[in-house]
Amino acid sequence: MKGYGPAELSESPRFAGVPTYLRLPHVSHLDGVDVAVVGLPFDSDASVRSGARFGPKAIREGSLGLHPHYNPAQRSAVFETLSVVDFGDAPVAAGFADRSQDRMAEHLGGLHAAGVAPLGLGGDHSVLIAELRAAAQRHGALALVQFAAHAGTLDELVGERYTHGTVVRRAVEEGLIDAARSTVLGVRGGLSSPTELDDARALGLEVVAWDDLAQFGTQAIAAVVERAGGKAFLSFDIDFVDPAFAPGTRTPEVGGPSSMQALAMVRGCRGLDLVGADVVGVIPENDSTNLTGILAATVAWELLTLMACRP
């Protein structure tokens, strides 16, 4: 192992002990660390369900059953390449969106300043603004590659401007992402208005609906990677996947990809120059088998692998 990596199974079983992501060391320093997994336990969840704040807990729990040492699909012994730790959770103030975003951005900024790439575990999609502010401060405007069932490009939601439904529009407006290099993938279901997707495209973003992605899978992803050009941030909202495969999410949108399809697309992003990534939108409370946490943990591990294979 290069530096920090998962615990061995020689002494005690997977279910024992205080659960960190992949049973990684839980540290509060950054020496010798390449990637820090960090929880972003904030949600406003102005929709039908609440509790994305418990997403980090569910993803950590869901990660315990994984066999992370070797990823055969990418032929990568992940932790021979990357030194990874569980850095705990960023500070937040539940119910107070503005101050929470500030605290998270400051916390993540410390990681970037130390040359450590954060892998965020959400939280609802609104945490993306904190992640991008921290990343852009160090790296400038990034290419965003977003997998999600909804575009996140509305202007307001229930009278508020900084929510999961508006976060991508805000990121463009704040200059945190370069719309010309960014793509939003997987939109499906009903729309708020006939022009919702055209409004998003008017920002400069590439928008690929799930129906199109289902048909042109591999090619579509290759185009996304090429379009991204330089430094990039990959955001994966678990609602991208069909709710049969990820029932514990905010507003489940039926008719989506299977987990097999979703994993193949994430793997297809090999080649992105990732300076950060996240998995968001996990709401574990009624997902009694934690299916969602397990899938999110697997996606996060594929994101780690992408970072290990970074060009």
Position among 252, 268, 276, 281 found at the interface with a second copy (CB under 8 A): 252
Position among 50, 139, 270, 273 found at the interface with a second copy (CB under 8 A): 50
Q: Does 113 bind a second copy (CB under 8 A)?
A: no
Q: Are strands 183-187 and 206-209 parallel, antiparallel or unpaired?
A: parallel
Position among 1, 2, 3, 46 found at the interface with a second copy (CB under 8 A): 46
User: What residues are paired with 280 via a beta bridge?
Assistant: 237
Q: Does 65 bind a second copy (CB under 8 A)?
A: yes
Q: Which stretch binds a second copy (CB under 8 A): 198-206, 220-228, 255-263, 269-277?
A: 255-263
Q: Which stretch binds a second copy (CB under 8 A): 112-120, 168-176, 246-254, 272-280?
A: 246-254
Q: Report the C-alpha gap between 20 and 26 in whole angstroms.
A: 7
Amino acid letter for position 181: R
CB of 33 to a second copy, least distance (A): 16
Q: b/e per residue, 123-160, with b = 16+ CB within 10 A?
A: bbbbbbbbbbbbbbeebebbbbbbbbbbbbbbeebeee
CB of 222 to a second copy, least distance (A): 19
Q: Which stretch binds a second copy (CB under 8 A): 4-12, 109-117, 173-181, 272-280?
A: 4-12
Q: Which stretch binds a second copy (CB under 8 A): 51-59, 140-148, 217-225, 230-238?
A: 51-59
Amino acid letter for position 31: D
Looking at the Cβ atoms of 165 and 228, the one nearer to a second copy is 165
Which of 98, 87, 107, 102 lies closest to 21, judged by CA?
87
Q: Does 311 bind a second copy (CB under 8 A)?
A: no
CB of 146 to a second copy, least distance (A): 18
Q: Report the C-alpha gap between 82 and 304 in whole angstroms.
A: 8
Q: Report the C-alpha gap between 296 and 66 in whole angstroms.
A: 11
Looking at the Cβ atoms of 205 and 295, the one nearer to a second copy is 295
Q: Does 268 bind a second copy (CB under 8 A)?
A: no
Looking at the Cβ atoms of 146 and 163, the one nearer to a second copy is 163
Q: Report the C-alpha gap between 104 and 100 in whole angstroms.
A: 6
Looking at the Cβ atoms of 107 and 181, the one nearer to a second copy is 107
Which parts of 7-26 interact with a second copy (CB under 8 A)? 9-20, 26
Which parts of 139-198 interact with a second copy (CB under 8 A)? 157-160, 163, 189-194, 196-197
Question: Three-class SS of residue 302?
Answer: helix
Position among 4, 34, 53, 166 found at the interface with a second copy (CB under 8 A): 53
CB under 8 Å to 288, separation ≥6 — which residues? Answer: none
Q: Does 237 bind a second copy (CB under 8 A)?
A: no
Q: Report the C-alpha gap between 131 and 184 in whole angstroms.
A: 17
CB under 8 Å to 278, separation ≥6 — which residues? Answer: 40, 119, 120, 121, 122, 127, 128, 131, 234, 235, 236
